[in-house]
Amino acid sequence: MRAYLLHIVLGFAVLASALGVVYSKHESRQLFVTLQNQETERDAMNIDWGRLQLEQSTWATHARVATTAEKKLGMKVPEMNNITIVTTQAGDRHE
């Protein structure tokens, strides 16, 4: 009778262990799928970040700023005879 009980307990232990392995494998697969989805999202964000950096550098070029200032604000580079250069010397500081 004692050996029979031992076999039943060991059978339940083996069954519980097998269910634990199945659950662990299932959880591992779900986490792996989540990891792959997040890596794909990260890669897409890195591509978008690179595109945005390129777009920002394009918008900030000197030629683009100058063209926009000329067309939208009517600004232009002054003629040389309209430019005044102001210099100060170290002893000429006024406070």
What domain range includes position 66?
A: 2-88
One-letter identity of residue 49: W
- Confidence label for 95 from pLDDT (cuts 50, 70 and 90): low
**Residue 21 pLDDT:** 97
CB atoms within 10 A of CB 46: 10
Q: Which value, in Å, is the radius of gyration of the alpha carbons in the chain?
A: 37
The tokens for 94 are 């006024």
Q: Is residue 6 part of a domain?
A: yes
Q: Is residue 38 part of a domain?
A: yes
Among positive and negative, which fits the CA dihedral 20, 23, 29, 31? negative
Q: Is residue 73 part of a domain?
A: yes
Q: Is residue 95 part of a domain?
A: no
pTM of the model: 0.56
Q: How many domains does the chain have?
A: 1
**Stretch 82-93: mean pLDDT, rounded?**
79
**Residue 30 pLDDT:** 98
- Confidence label for 93 from pLDDT (cuts 50, 70 and 90): low
